[in-house]
Amino acid sequence: DDTVLTGAFVPFGTETTPGQVIEATDPCGSSILAFDPDDPEGTLQMYAWGFRHVIGFAWNKDGELFASANSYDVRGSRPVKDEAEATYRVKEGAWYGWPDFSAALEPLTDAKFDVPDSLQVPVYVGDELQENGLGFLIDHEASGLEPPDPSLVLGLHDYQSSPTKLDIAPESWGEMAGQLFVAEWGDLSPETNPFQDERPGYRVVRIDPETGQVEPFVFNAQPGPASEQDALGEGIERPFDVKFGPDGAMYVVDYGVARVNQARIEQGQVPYEFPPRTGAVWRITPSDGRNG
């Protein structure tokens, strides 16, 4: 097998040296940016940062902002076995911990996030091989960073469930009004996590902002996508977006079939297949009992 030396935060295959300064990008990545649409370039500023992979966000009627984010994978040059994914309360100026804290905003230096040595990429400083294990990538003291506030976590999703987009229920949904409804796209194991035994995601969940409790709302009778239950088109496959329409109904954009096919690697292709014409849009209304 070929071996390549590559530095951190540089193009793959680019070597770095101890003490080398890597210039930051501007505007920064892993952030939520804000701007005036009448003058986007002149008003662009960072609103919050330190997210690994934010996909969806929504405001409630009180102007509070919420965002869903995917957590780490057990792959690549820095595999991390996290315990959850998260939906966050977004506060202006807050740092959300990436790349040194978990979805639940715990430090990755905790041994519970380590993976077996066989899955870790050798790390060198100069010519010296470093011990395996997760360390901080940022010098927090020099950067003036404090650990992220755990209260920023609104709710925790199953690890690898891939929370994507979300919306907030209107008043017509009665006792569920104001609750967050989040699409969970589902996992791509074993590529993203060779230890994954269950099928997390493939559903829409609701989060009570008062308690942070995450509960299934739209889901199949058995875990996993409908296509793996001989029921393609009859159940949820990979929900990606949730929106409440002017008619009060919930609309769920179902991405369709996305599956792992490792045989494609031998053909020089990514190990994923996305068959066309398998997606759908679901319309969901509350029953009288659920509508309060």
CA distances from 219 to 167, 237, 243 (A): 17, 9, 17
Give percent of the chain above pLDDT 90: 80
| pLDDT for 292 beyond 90 | no
Res 291: pLDDT: 42
Res 19: pLDDT: 85
Measured in degrees and rounded to the nearest 5, phi and psi for residue 260 equal -90, 130
222 neighbors 239 (Cβ within 8 angstroms): no
Res 288: pLDDT: 58
CA distances from 163 to 84, 140, 158 (A): 10, 28, 9
Tokens 């987009």 correspond to: 165
In this predicted model, what pLDDT tens digit does every residue of 93-132 receive, in sequence order? 999 999 999 999 999 999 999 999 989 888 888 888 988 8
Res 290: pLDDT: 47
What's the CA gap between 81 and 108, in Å, rounded? 9
What's the CA gap between 152 and 159, in Å, rounded? 18
Of 84-98, 112-126, 215-229, the poorest mean pLDDT is in 112-126
Residue 73 structure tokens: 């994978």
| pLDDT for 2 beyond 80 | no
In this predicted model, what pLDDT tens digit does every residue of 235-245 receive, in sequence order? 999 999 999 99
9 neighbors 22 (Cβ within 8 angstroms): yes
Q: Mean pLDDT over all residues of the chain? A: 94
In this predicted model, what pLDDT tens digit does every residue of 247-286 receive, in sequence order? 999 999 999 999 999 999 999 999 999 999 999 999 999 8
In this predicted model, what pLDDT tens digit does every residue of 30-59 receive, in sequence order? 999 999 999 999 999 999 999 999 999 999
Cα 107 to chain centroid distance, Å, stands at 17
In this predicted model, what pLDDT tens digit does every residue of 178-205 receive, in sequence order? 999 999 999 999 999 999 999 999 999 9
